[in-house]
């Protein structure tokens, strides 16, 4: 059943998300053709599918980021991951987009792994969130970031983050945090402090920060933009992505607690194929005869969505598939098999790089150029 209502918060995505409405609700700006064309021009590159196909659809101050780049002032990137379980396809796509931006603009990137957040907000022990942090870091490294320009840090370990969070925590009062995050009398006090920790990396450099992330994280950035300038820093910029729909339907997002809805990056490729075959919702007709006569419904098909978002790079092939489906020339079985092949190829390649990542963790966390700089750095005088 199609729900008319939808809800997007940092903890929950429900219903059929209307992304145009979300731009209005959150007060962000649409990522326009003009901005994307400027991006292509400045990077002298063809845009990757996450931008071309509008998986990233909204922004804050991305125009200013491009100006900063053009004027030579520069900018830096920040993103993150809450380690509460295995990562799936939906989690990793924003990291691919981030990698593209890092490579094309040649900028530093900070990746926050919030084992503290997941300990506070979820029913997990700190040992569990630390273990997931390690597992997730392997998936993130597998994306292929530049180890000298990327610092991956875990909050429970890179405790300097606390010092950065302090001046921020002094700028946010309870009623502001409550208005943005809906805290109540039962909220743990650690949860109330946490937004200061997630905002802190936006101050890692005295340049404008650009955060590519799913739009559910925007409340943190909205809050950051309220106090950033009063601390002598830039309001952060952001690029917002949509959610990858679960295999089982177009509503909500993939969930770690419902394994049949997601393909995890560590899934055995054979098993992942079976999962897609068995659970993926398509927009097909009930019988082959009707499919041939009436055609399918790619707009209502998760298989088509997954191809559109990530797995079919070739625009022409995607359009052909769309029309062939509409014309009743394709069966859902054929499309599923095609997607399965693409997903399996991706998983095999990812898992190979994930294995190699085991040897690189040290560099991203402690010994890469940027990592060393951050571990050695003292809190800027201005903030003390």
DSSP states of 241-291: E--PPPTT-SSS---TT-GGG--BTTS-HHHHHHHHHHH------SSHHHH
CB of 335 to ligand TRP, least distance (A): 31
CB of 8 to ligand TRP, least distance (A): 13
Find the part of the chain contacting ligand TRP (CB under 6 A) among 75-83, 158-166, 324-332, 351-359.
75-83
Establish if 213 lies at the interface with ligand TRP (CB under 6 A): yes
CB of 11 to ligand TRP, least distance (A): 8
The answer to whether residues 5 and 12 touch, using CB atoms and an 8 Å cutoff, is no
CB of 69 to ligand TRP, least distance (A): 20
Task: Choose between 121 and 279: whose C-beta lies nearer to ligand TRP.
Answer: 121
Q: Which residues contact 344 (CB under 8 A, 6 or more apart)?
A: 269, 270, 272, 273
Establish if 152 lies at the interface with ligand TRP (CB under 6 A): no
CA separation for the pair 11, 181 (Å, rounded): 10
Task: Choose between 211 and 254: whose C-beta lies nearer to ligand TRP.
Answer: 211
Question: What's the DSSP call for residue 148?
Answer: T
Which of 104, 95, 94 minimizes the C-alpha distance to 40?
104
DSSP states of 50-98: HHHTTSEEEEESHHHHHHHHHHT--EEEEEEE--SS--BHHHHHHHHHH
Establish if 143 lies at the interface with ligand TRP (CB under 6 A): no
Rg (CA), the chain: 21
Establish if 167 lies at the interface with ligand TRP (CB under 6 A): no
Q: How many residues bind ligand TRP (CB under 6 A)?
A: 11
Sign (positive or negative) of CA dihedral 132, 305, 238, 255: negative
Task: Choose between 138 and 280: whose C-beta lies nearer to ligand TRP.
Answer: 138
Q: Of 217, 224, 261, 285, which one interacts with ligand TRP (CB under 6 A)?
A: 217
Task: Choose between 61 and 117: whose C-beta lies nearer to ligand TRP.
Answer: 117
Angle at CA of residue 243, ends 320 and 139, nearest 5°: 100
CA separation for the pair 28, 57 (Å, rounded): 10
Question: What's the DSSP call for residue 380?
Answer: P
CB of 261 to ligand TRP, least distance (A): 17
Establish if 117 lies at the interface with ligand TRP (CB under 6 A): yes
Which of 80, 91, 162 minimizes the C-alpha distance to 114?
80
To the nearest 10°, report the CA torsion of 294, 298, 300, 303.
130
CA separation for the pair 141, 145 (Å, rounded): 6
Establish if 81 lies at the interface with ligand TRP (CB under 6 A): yes
CB of 12 to ligand TRP, least distance (A): 11
Establish if 80 lies at the interface with ligand TRP (CB under 6 A): yes
Establish if 198 lies at the interface with ligand TRP (CB under 6 A): yes
Establish if 133 lies at the interface with ligand TRP (CB under 6 A): no
Establish if 79 lies at the interface with ligand TRP (CB under 6 A): yes
Distance of CA 254 to the CA centre of its chain: 12
Establish if 136 lies at the interface with ligand TRP (CB under 6 A): no
CB of 119 to ligand TRP, least distance (A): 12
Task: Choose between 211 and 244: whose C-beta lies nearer to ligand TRP.
Answer: 211
Find the part of the chain contacting ligand TRP (CB under 6 A) among 45-53, 96-104, 209-217, 262-270.
209-217
Q: What is the CB neighbour count within 10 angstroms for residue 292?
A: 14
Q: In Å, how far are 44, 46, 54, 206, 256 from 64, measured between CA atoms? A: 19, 21, 20, 15, 36
Establish if 211 lies at the interface with ligand TRP (CB under 6 A): yes
Find the part of the chain contacting ligand TRP (CB under 6 A) among 211-219, 223-231, 300-308, 366-374.
211-219
Establish if 291 lies at the interface with ligand TRP (CB under 6 A): no
Q: Of 114, 154, 236, 285, which one interacts with ligand TRP (CB under 6 A)?
A: 114
Q: Of 112, 154, 224, 282, which one interacts with ligand TRP (CB under 6 A)?
A: 112
Which residues of this chain interact with ligand TRP, rule CB under 6 A?
79-82, 112, 114, 117, 198, 211, 213, 217
């Amino acid at each position: 059943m199609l729900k008319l209502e939808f809800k997007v918060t940092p903890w929950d995505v429900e219903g059929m998300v209307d992304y145009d409405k979300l731009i209005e609700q959150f007060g962000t700006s649409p990522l326009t053709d003009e901005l994307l064309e400027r991006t292509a021009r400045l990077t002298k590159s063809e845009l990757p599918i996450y931008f071309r196909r509008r998986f990233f659809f909204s922004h804050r101050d991305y125009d200013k980021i491009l100006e900063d780049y053009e004027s030579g002032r520069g900018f830096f990137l920040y993103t993150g991951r809450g380690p509460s379980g295995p990562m799936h396809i939906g989690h990793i796509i924003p990291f691919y987009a981030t990698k593209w931006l890092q490579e094309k603009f040649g900028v530093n990137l900070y990746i926050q792994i919030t084992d503290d957040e997941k300990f506070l907000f979820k029913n997990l022990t700190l040992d569990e969130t630390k273990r997931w942090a390690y597992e997730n870091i392997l998936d993130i490294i597998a994306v292929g970031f530049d180890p000298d320009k990327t610092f991956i840090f875990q909050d429970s370990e890179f405790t300097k983050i606390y010092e950065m969070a302090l001046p921020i925590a002094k700028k946010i009062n309870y009623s502001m945090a409550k208005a943005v995050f809906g805290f109540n009398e039962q909220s743990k006090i650690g949860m109330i402090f946490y937004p200061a920790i997630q905002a802190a990396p936006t101050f890692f450099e005295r340049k404008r920060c650009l955060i590519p992330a799913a739009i559910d994280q925007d409340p943190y950035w909205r809050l950051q933009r309220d106090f950033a300038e009063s601390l002598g820093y830039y309001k952060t910029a952001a690029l917002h992505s949509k959610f990858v729909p679960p295999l089982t339907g177009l509503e909500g997002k993939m969930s770690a607690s419902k394994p049949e809805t997601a393909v995890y990056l560590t899934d055995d490729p054979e098993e992942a194929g079976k999962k897609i075959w068995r659970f993926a919702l398509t927009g097909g007709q009930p019988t082959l005869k009707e499919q041939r006569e009436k055609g399918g419904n790619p707009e209502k098909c998760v298989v088509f969505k997954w191809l559109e978002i990530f797995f079919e790079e070739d625009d022409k092939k995607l359009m052909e598939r769309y029309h062939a489906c509409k014309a009743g020339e394709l069966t859902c079985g054929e499309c599923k098999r095609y997607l399965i092949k693409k997903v399996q190829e991706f998983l095999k390649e990812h898992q190979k790089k994930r294995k190699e990542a085991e040897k690189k963790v040290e560099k991203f966390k402690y010994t890469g150029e940027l990592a060393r700089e951050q571990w050695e750095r003292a809190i800027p005088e201005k903030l003390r």
